[in-house]
Structure 1
Amino acid sequence: MTLAHLAQPGILEPIPAQGRYLTCQLRVGADPRAVLRRLAGQSDGQLTIVGLGASLVRELDVSIPGLKSFRGIDGARVKLPATPADLFIWLRGTDRGDLLIRSRQLEALMAPAFDVQDITDAFIHDNGRDLTGYEDGTENPQGEEAEATALLPESAGLLAGSSFVAVQRWRHHMSRFDAMSRQQQDHAIGRERDSNEELDDAPESSHVKRTAQENFDPEAFVLRRSMPWAEGNQGGLVFAAFGCSFDAFEAQLRRMSGAEDGIVDALFDFTEPETGAYFWCPPVANGGIDLRAIGL
């Protein structure tokens, strides 16, 4: 039986034309319950996706099995910043001005208990390509496989249809990328840019070979819903990986970072994560976010 009706629908839908990511911190001494109830009632899970951090769930004196804070990867040979937050909101839409207005309304709604810590505006680029020009999310699972990858099963009770999401904002050093030859760029990704075909002769450090989801034991599939971001002349990718646990994401990041076999993903030659956080995205019910699993 499909679980799509229980999930925040924006998790399973294609990337929107425009996006805005907010991370928020609970104010010291504030009780978040009333604000969370209002936020849940005004969030449909489609245009407004909501995620809760482990620290916020602990503050409510409840637990969500599998939810934890991102702490990096033991043995990583690159920097993997951990920037935990209490609340994550992904606004989706087609008009950037509309997202700004909605963002300000939500900030006012949350003001009694939360401070907005960070805002990143994002967008779709060239029909789903990264700012480097390479197609993003090529191996994403589809249909029922996407649901099985991203959503907790029916046996999870009140958690059924909910999801865990790992979020990182990566900053591209475009001057480094531009200084690479076309072959070096293709080999770093592991695909030919124009055709998106995998390259058999790509080195083991290529991103495709580092993250081939079927080559892990167990297989490490995630549902990627990433979007490019830009500010001034800087830009990169907001990486968002949804899963029924954090296991697949951590398996991939362990291999990418060189912690598994000492080979670092060639992506790190020209891009690096600035943030890293984990969140739990509750299910939906009656057109709003369902917080019964945390007693609200």
Structure 2
Amino acid sequence: MPALLPAQPGILQPIPTQARYLSCQLRIGATPQAVLRELAAFADGEATVVGLGESLVRSLGTQVPGLKSFPQIEGALVKLPATPIDLLIWLRGSDRGELLLRSRQLEALLAPAFELRAITDAFSHRTNHDLSGYEDGTENPQGEDALAAALVAQGPLAGSSFLAVQRWRHQLSHFAAMPELQRDHVFGRAHHNNEELDDAPASAHVKRTAQEDFEPPAFVLRRAMPWAEGNEGGSMFTAFGHSFDAYEALLRRMSGAEDGVVDALFSFTEPETGAYFWCPPLHQGRIDLRAVGL
């Protein structure tokens, strides 16, 4: 794995204090080429991370090897909605006002070809904690391991990444009503010190998703962020990989499709969306769309 790959830097950086997820759909009859070129020049890949959906790539008359739609997991014992999106923009920053103004600027830039269908505001809670109060991303790969997990290493797609996004809605009152030990058993960690529990049940999240226990190991780079609207909230699960293989292995096990054991997370939260994207690399400081003919 090369020490430096031309990746969008926001992929590898820690989660920001504030973020916005912009979900955009191609307008009927629109030709997106000119707008995508403008977007490529606008986005820096750091404060503005860009992901293209399979349907958008197909509309350009081409394909990206490895890019596909969010799957239907055969044998899943829980709902895993597939909600295709043509274009995802992940805005990262520290000032909510600045993100609002930047999203309005992007909406205007994209308007000739894309409709902004949904916005989800996200944020960092405590120190990488989920709204449940438990620390998130504890087992994330670091350093060279993060590069290997998240980025395509070689070939014409080198430096790009495959992105999976699910918006999960938590039933926070239901979770708060659980006894403390039951909550710990949902995650497989003790809330007070984040230590793994030796006696956690097979359904505990840490046991369902122990990435090193898969064959081959199923490492992804997780960048989940809490979201909130009114008094409701949940998690924008955001995972980058050099392919979708590891993510789908995790989905199969979490959903019970592999062995009939459903991840205990589903006892208080469920995904509302599910979409796949390809995040192009950078070239000379700009989003590199040459792989899709632009």
TM-score with structure 1 setting the length:
0.98
Partner of 1:206: 204
Alignment length (residue pairs):
294
Partner of 2:124: 124
**SS of corresponding position for 1:169:** strand
The secondary structure found in structure 2 opposite 1:6 is coil
Residue 230 of structure 1 corresponds to 228
Confirm or deny: 8 A CA contact 1:165 1:281 kept in the other structure: yes
Structure 1: give runs of 5+ residues left out of the alignment: none
AA in 1 matched with 2:54: A
Q: Distance in 2 between matches of 1:277 and 1:72?
A: 11
Listed one character per residue, the Cα deviations across residues 15-45 of structure 1 (whole Å, up to 9, x for unaligned) are 0000000111001110000000000000000
Query: Conserved in 1, the CA contact under 8 Å of 2:165 and 2:275?
Result: yes
Give 1:127 deviation, angstroms. 1.1
What is the 5 A alignment of 1:40-189?
A: 40-154=40-154, 156-157=155-156, 159-189=157-187
Could you tell me whether the CA contact under 8 Å between 1:93 and 1:99 is conserved in 2? yes
Structure 1 residues 118, 83: CA separation in 2 closer, same or farther (over 3 Å shift)?
Answer: same
Which letter maps to 1:72?
A: Q
- Give the letter for the 1:288 counterpart: R
Who is 2:15 aligned against?
15
CA RMSD of aligned residues (A): 0.8
Tell me, which stretches of 5 or more residues in structure 2 are unaligned? none
Deviation at residue 176 of structure 1 after TM alignment: 1.0
Question: What is the aligned partner in structure 1 of residue 31 from structure 2?
Answer: 31
Could you tell me how far apart the structure 1 residues matched to 2:210 and 2:168 are?
20
- Residue 279 of structure 1, aligned match among 259, 277, 280: 277
- Assess if the C-alpha contact under 8 Å between 2:149 and 2:219 holds in 1: yes
- Whole-angstrom CA distance in 2 between matches of 1:12 and 1:215: 24
Displacement of 1:58 in angstroms is 0.5
In 2, Cα distance between equivalents of 1:285 and 1:61: 22
Residue 218 of structure 1, CA deviation:
0.6
Partners of 1:109 and 1:30 in 2: CA distance = 14
Displacement of 1:113 after TM fit?
0.2
Q: Distance in 2 between matches of 1:2 and 1:36?
A: 28
The letter of the residue matching 1:199 is L
Aligned partner of 1:270 in structure 2 is 268
Deviation, 1:5, is 4.1
Letter in 1 for 2:142: Q
Aligned partner of 2:265: which letter? Answer: L
